[in-house]
Amino acid sequence: MKVVKVLGSGCKRCVATAEMVQKEADKFGVPVTIEKVTDYAAIAGYGIASTPGIVVDGKVVHAGGLPKPDDHARWLAA
């Protein structure tokens, strides 16, 4: 199971990002646990300055703006 953290304040883009990750994971049959991280100190600890950010299994894979579906497939397949 992949652990995906969505880093952000909880804004619409952050919520949409979490939904996109879940949708793509379901599409590819990849079990995921999605955690929403809203604490700014924790977000800064990942070196993220622009949200939403995505961390997959401890590795930062995206920061700022909505990711593309193709990106999700690459992150979830790795």
For the stretch 6-16, pLDDT in tens is: 999 989 999 99
Predicted TM-score of the model (pTM): 0.91
pLDDT in tens, 30-74: 999 999 999 999 999 999 989 999 999 999 999 998 998 788 888
Q: Where are the domains of the chain?
A: 2-73
> Residue 12 forms beta bridges with which residues?
none
End-to-end CA distance of the chain: 12
> 11: which residues sit within 8 A by CB, 6+ positions away?
51, 52
Residue 27 has pLDDT above 80, yes or no: yes
> Residue 61 forms beta bridges with which residues?
none
CATH topology (fold) of 2-73: Glutaredoxin (3.40.30)
- Beta strand 32-37 with 2-7 is parallel
* pLDDT score of 72: 84
* pLDDT score of 4: 96
- State the DSSP code for 50: S
Token pair for 23: 């949708």
